[in-house]
Amino acid sequence: MKYFLFLSVFFIYGFLVFSQDRITFPAADKLTVTADFYENENVKNAPYILLFHQAGYSRGEYKETAQKMVKLGFNCLAVDLRSGEEVNFIRNETAAEAQKKNLPQNYIDAKNDILGAIEYAYNKSQKQVILFGSSYSASLVLVLAKNNQKVSAVVAFSPGEYFDRVLNVQSSLKGYDKPVFAACSKPEFTYLEELMVNVEKNKLLFQPMTGNGEHGSKALWKANKNHNEYWMQLLGFLKKYAN
């Protein structure tokens, strides 16, 4: 069934039309945030997946992944967080803007960008959004989704305790109220289980079986030989939210 679902999305629906535009919106602290908006033009008012990158990267982390998400029936917003640089030849514009304004660019400061993205997408669609994070941003989306009525679910690739004493992710997840798909590389899995111990229901934890996999959402890139394994598990989680 999972294999059939995978083939359906990437072959039968492979010709869906989408557009890609660069947009900006205000962060919670008013910094201008840059993002790429991938719009599903075949589905009216499709739900949003908000895509956030890992350390040192940009919205370019999702250059390949976002196009596949659109085929599932979503709109996607790939966001430049203020803590990052460049990947896949795409420069992090939000980080450049934060540097220009002499704003702090620690991992924790990116929460303002995520909150701004939630407000932007929710106001556009009037629908709950799905938060999708990679490495440090995976931890932030887990924490920020809790008790947020504008968020329906969370996808977290390689979350962890990346914030020193500023934020304890594990303890912040007590009483968690959102469905979660959390994935990582095989070497990270024991750590992931420990991190997610306070999420007592509606969670799916995944590690690859056919290789070590990758850290963060790079696990979904074609360059990762295990990418199909990750995709099939992720599709099973997301299908209930797609139009």
Q: Helix, strand, or coil here: 112?
A: helix
pLDDT for the residue 62: 98
Query: H or E segment at 230?
Result: helix 227-238
Q: Pairing relation of β-strands 75-79 and 48-52?
A: parallel
Give the pLDDT means over successive 10-residue stretches in the chain (243 positions): 48 57 98 97 91 99 96 96 98 99 98 99 97 99 99 99 97 98 98 98 96 97 96 96 85
Dist CA 180 CA 133 (whole Å): 11
How would you class 127 by CB atoms within 10 Å of its CB: exposed for 0-12, middle for 13-18, buried for 19 or more?
Answer: middle
Pairing of β 32-40 and β 75-79:
antiparallel
pLDDT value at position 166? 96
What the chain holds in terms of domains, given with CATH numbers, is 2-241 (3.40.50.1820)
- pLDDT for 206: 98
| Beta pairing class for 129-134 and 18-26 | unpaired
